[in-house]
Structure 1
Amino acid sequence: MLRSMYSGVSGMKGFQTKLDVIGNNIANVNTAGFKSSRVMFKDILSQTAAGATGSTAEVGGSNAKQIGLGVSIGSIDTLHLAGSAMTTNNPTDLRIDGDGFFAVGLTAETDAANAFLTRAGDFHVDGTGNLVNSDGLFVLNTGGGAINVPQGSTFSIGSDGVVAIKAADGTIATDNRIAVVVVRNPEGLEKAGGNLYRVGQNAMAEGETIVFEAEADGPNAMAGGIVAGQLEMSNVDLTSEFTEMITAQRGFQANSRIITTSDEVLQEVVNLKR
């Protein structure tokens, strides 16, 4: 069989994956905290028809003759670029102005190393006064515990993540601080659905947990300050996505044409015996 046919098949598979990723990006254009992805290709190992030869005093050298065998997916990267800010004026809507992530847990006492991470700050106060996300996961403080607002109290969240809770008698408690987690390699985080990430093996060293208190300035400024009343929207750029969609569509069509042409060549070979 012709090598070009298999090369065309690999190209079609690759561009189908690219279209799948682009479609997911566009579908989440209005998803709070969503980070777009991209597909990178790499060529498959080439078949060497003739090796290279070195030059001598009598004869010059020659280059190797290699035939490529197609394309494969090199990587599917998540682009952790900041999305645009949307002002909601809702005090429980939070945005991180930096590289950090909110930590949320399945239980009220969750170690930060086992927590899910998210950039979506559309939080709520549930019926028992706990600060939770839209799926009911607990928003964690720097100690790994839940943040609870007693009944009859009011609260505000500062740029440093401190939750100031004012009781009915006028006393103010500031012993809760929202955890902001920074990982060495954000692209190593694995999407877990529901705007959540789990820490993958390549996100940080084993056993390492980097928890920074939210801070707009100072030594922890990389984590970023918290902006209350705002949400971080998706970082999907529709102009780029539609351009990439056109490129992927044309690439898919071109590779399908390779298969059609290879089939026509094989048909001609079969017809030689007639």
Structure 2
Amino acid sequence: MLRSMFTAISSLNLHQSYLDVVANNLANANTIGYKTSRVLFQDQFYQMLNPGSGPAANLGGTNPTQVGLGVKTGYISPIFTQGALQATGRNLDLAIQGDGFFVYDQGAQRRYSREGSLTLDSAGILVNASTGLRVQGWMVNASGVVDTNLPPNNIQIPQNRTIARATQNAIFGGNLSADAQVGDTVDTTMGIYDSLGQLHTATVTFTRTGDSTWSWSATAPAGAAGNGTITFDANGHYASSTGSVLTVPGSAGANPINATLDLTSLTMLSAPTSTAVTSQDGLAAGDITDVYITPNDGAIFLVYSNGMREQVGQIAVARFTNPAGLIHTGHTMFQQGLNSGDPQIGAANSAGRGAIAAGYLEGSNVDMAQEFTNMILAQRGFQASSRVITTSDEIIQELVNLKR
């Protein structure tokens, strides 16, 4: 049989595989997180007809004569170029800008993916919305800190937590009248919160003590403590003060409230007295209203109805020295391969890992124009090889006809 026929057959098989890859790329043109694949051809064996010779004293050398015996697949490899980010307006939809993969738990073998559509399951664990695989990261420790040097684990979001904040600072503003007489008093009430979120009403009494001085003291509620003095300059502006901590007993089970009073905004001008608390940092108890993932670093916060935010965890991102060495497992997931290197897992936007874009998903990086071009190349290559088989068959037929 003719060598050309077997060579053409190897080409037919390869161009069919080429077309399979093109078809898969086009089928996944709208698959979130999909990475297009490319095919590399390599020539195969060669039959040596003449090894050639080296130059002699009176004769030049000759080159070897070889006949190729077909083509084979070099490799089929994913291309990890960045896909376009598609805005979804949903904070639990995540994409990675740059190098890296989300880490998912699947028992003994982890999975890695660029697809980050997350949701909470009934146990409050953060999972991939389509596969249910649990995304990996870190929870805050007892000190409220995320340690990204620890191995990542499941992220469980508390569902029924409430939180409050005790008042620690209060700012007074307004005017203490310069027309007041020595011994005149002014009462200013203020609302402050204890560590359980209970609101307490405290009264601070200001007393004129001299030409440019006033004193203050806590007079309510029962058990409240704190006092000090305020000195104003000749322009009626704050000059200095002594004492700044107001202590108020908390409700049953709460710590005492120790609020630092900021009196620097007070004035002493010839105008009616108008002292008031302009702001304080305590908050009543609030319930969870949302889960928020911050851009860039992927920190996970709980948002409460009282406006507070509390960090509970952080998303992990893995990068590989050779991502093309990863093995496809379906569902736009990969697993570690023999030539991918070990996963380098850490926080996003650090050590070469990409930044997290919250509210976005990464679209497929398939270039449809390129894939249609590849389809034409595969088709024409297949046609050319089939013509070689037809021609080889005609030559064999002519040989058979020589017997007639």
Match of 1:236 in 2: 366
Match of 2:7 in 1: 7
Contact 2:29 2:366 in 1 (8 A): yes
Higher relative contact order (CA 8 A, sep 6+): 1
1:213 maps to a residue whose letter is A
Q: Which whole-Å CA distance do the structure 2 matches of 1:117 and 1:65 have between them?
A: 49
User: What are the superposed Cα offsets for residues 77-123 of structure 1, whole Å, 9 maximum, x if unpaired?
Assistant: 1101111110111111001111110001136xx7xxx3100001111
1:141 alignment partner, SS class: strand
Match of 1:213 in 2: 347
Map 1:22-171 to 2 at 5 A: 22-106=22-106, 114-133=109-128, 134-142=130-138, 143-152=151-160, 153=288, 154-158=290-294, 159-166=296-303
Q: Which whole-Å CA distance do the structure 1 matches of 2:377 and 2:111 have between them?
A: 35
Which is further off, 231-240 or 164-173? 164-173
- The reply on whether 1:225 has 2:355 as its aligned counterpart is yes
Alignment length (residue pairs): 262
Paired-residue identity, %: 43
Considering only CA atoms, is the larger Rg found in Structure 1 or Structure 2?
A: 2
Q: Which whole-Å CA distance do the structure 2 matches of 1:175 and 1:165 have between them?
A: 7
Taking structure 1 as the reference length, what is the TM-score of the superposition? 0.92
Match of 2:334 in 1: 197
* Structure 1 unaligned blocks of 5 or more: none
Shift of 1:46: 0.6
Contact 2:157 2:312 in 1 (8 A): no
User: What are the superposed Cα offsets for residues 32-88 of structure 1, whole Å, 9 maximum, x if unpaired?
Assistant: 000000111111111010012111220011000000001010110110111111011
1:100 maps to a residue whose letter is G
Match of 1:183 in 2: 320
Q: Which whole-Å CA distance do the structure 2 matches of 1:97 and 1:138 have between them?
A: 21
Shift of 1:175: 4.1
Contact 2:91 2:292 in 1 (8 A): yes
- The reply on whether 1:270 has 2:383 as its aligned counterpart is no
User: What are the superposed Cα offsets for residues 133-174 of structure 1, whole Å, 9 maximum, x if unpaired?
Assistant: 111110110442212222253221112111012356766432
1:61 alignment partner, SS class: coil
User: What are the superposed Cα offsets for residues 243-264 of structure 1, whole Å, 9 maximum, x if unpaired?
Assistant: 0100110000000010010001
Match of 1:173 in 2: 310
User: What are the superposed Cα offsets for residues 221-241 of structure 1, whole Å, 9 maximum, x if unpaired?
Assistant: x21111100000000000000
* Structure 2 unaligned blocks of 5 or more: 139-150, 161-287
2:393 alignment partner, SS class: helix
Which is further off, 175-184 or 149-158? 149-158
2:137 alignment partner, SS class: coil
2:102 maps to a residue whose letter is F
Q: Which whole-Å CA distance do the structure 2 matches of 1:163 and 1:175 have between them?
A: 6
- The reply on whether 1:246 has 2:382 as its aligned counterpart is no
Q: Which whole-Å CA distance do the structure 2 matches of 1:87 and 1:172 have between them?
A: 24
Q: Which whole-Å CA distance do the structure 2 matches of 1:232 and 1:209 have between them?
A: 21
Q: Which whole-Å CA distance do the structure 2 matches of 1:225 and 1:122 have between them?
A: 16
Taking structure 2 as the reference length, what is the TM-score of the superposition? 0.63
Contact 2:137 2:153 in 1 (8 A): yes
Which is further off, 12-21 or 138-147? 138-147
Moved over 4 A (4+): 167-171
Q: Which whole-Å CA distance do the structure 2 matches of 1:119 and 1:35 have between them?
A: 9
Shift of 1:182: 0.5
1:40 alignment partner, SS class: strand
